[in-house]
Structure 1
Amino acid sequence: MFELATDGPRMIVCGVDGSDPSLHAAAYAWGLARRSGARLVLVYAVPVAAMSTLTPGGAAVLREAAEQVAEEMRTELAKAAERTHVAYEFRTEAGDAAAVLSKIADEVRADAVVVGASAQAGHRLVGSVAVRLVRAGRWPVTVVP
């Protein structure tokens, strides 16, 4: 027999990058964590652009932009945490989004992964972060539009 308060996810990982779909995913994951009493790990995978290292100062500019995006997300999360109490952690890590999310989801033993839907046309051919996470098949993946 299931207990009502313990049959949902206890650890949720959510990918964020500042885009509208990722912010919708974060809002959904936040609500899910609040309702189920779960811990939430929000992950910003900082893209590593190989071409940026070929230009003088290119890597520094990308690093600075990524730090600015991360800081803005931290500020917004702190505001949200004041309104609704959710145990959360915000992590940033450089690398491919699907690989970073997979690694962290495995590390924290996630019960669920939440990501925003990709709007990029190329992802229909190569596969979006969500599709790659689903193919990994280790956790339920929710894709939020």
Structure 2
Amino acid sequence: MTEQHSHRFERGTDGPKVIVAGVDGSDSSLRAAAYAGGLARRQGALLAVVYVQPVLAGGATLGASVAETTDEIAEELVAQIREATERVKGIFDVRWEFHTFRGDPYSGLVRTADELKADAVVVGASEQAGHRFVGSVAVRLVKSGRWPVTVVP
């Protein structure tokens, strides 16, 4: 009797293969990226660092200046990540890639995690007071229940 095994994606079977870290330039998001980097190194996983450039409601009136500002933030984040990985090269090697695009941060992280078949998502705790009432990206990710989510203070 021959048993057939279908080859399909199975999340979390042999440890994480892809860890998504959401960054926005805040201190807590950079701590989250560092934490995710440590997880990725120990597990031999790919670290996918994601910066979703927010589309501001008033962006249409401000025009290109908002887009230029978020592009500059993305470039600065990539430079910081490259600098950090160069400082520890040979000691703390991590496979990583950087993703950036415009949109809603929650939707962007969900889409990226789905596309990359992420095993875990790591984000920083919101530093905005209003998120206690409305709900932060971190809270929304946890409530979605689609991946293990680590929220770094």
TM-score, structure 1 normalization: 0.90
Corresponding position of 2:85 = 81
Corresponding position of 1:109 = 117
- For 2:104, give the aligned amino acid: D
In terms of Rg, which structure is larger? Answer: 2
Pick one of 37, 44, 47 that aligns with 1:37.
44
Corresponding position of 2:135 = 127
1:79 CA displacement: 1.8
Corresponding position of 1:9 = 16
Distance 2:103 2:96 in 1: 22
Corresponding position of 1:21 = 28
Residues 1:63 and 2:67 are matched in the alignment: yes
Describe the SS at the equivalent of 1:142: strand
Name the structure with the higher helix share.
Answer: 1
Distance 2:73 2:59 in 1: 18
- For 1:112, give the aligned amino acid: A
Corresponding position of 2:148 = 140
- For 1:76, give the aligned amino acid: Q
1:59 CA displacement: 2.5
Q: Specify every segment of 5 or more residues in structure 1 that has no aligned partner in the other structure, as ranges.
A: 1-5
- Corresponding pairs, count: 137
1:64 CA displacement: 0.9
1:80 CA displacement: 2.2
- For 2:22, give the aligned amino acid: G
Corresponding position of 2:3 = none
Corresponding position of 2:126 = 118
TM-score, structure 2 normalization: 0.85
Spell out structure 1 runs of 4+ moving beyond 2 A.
none
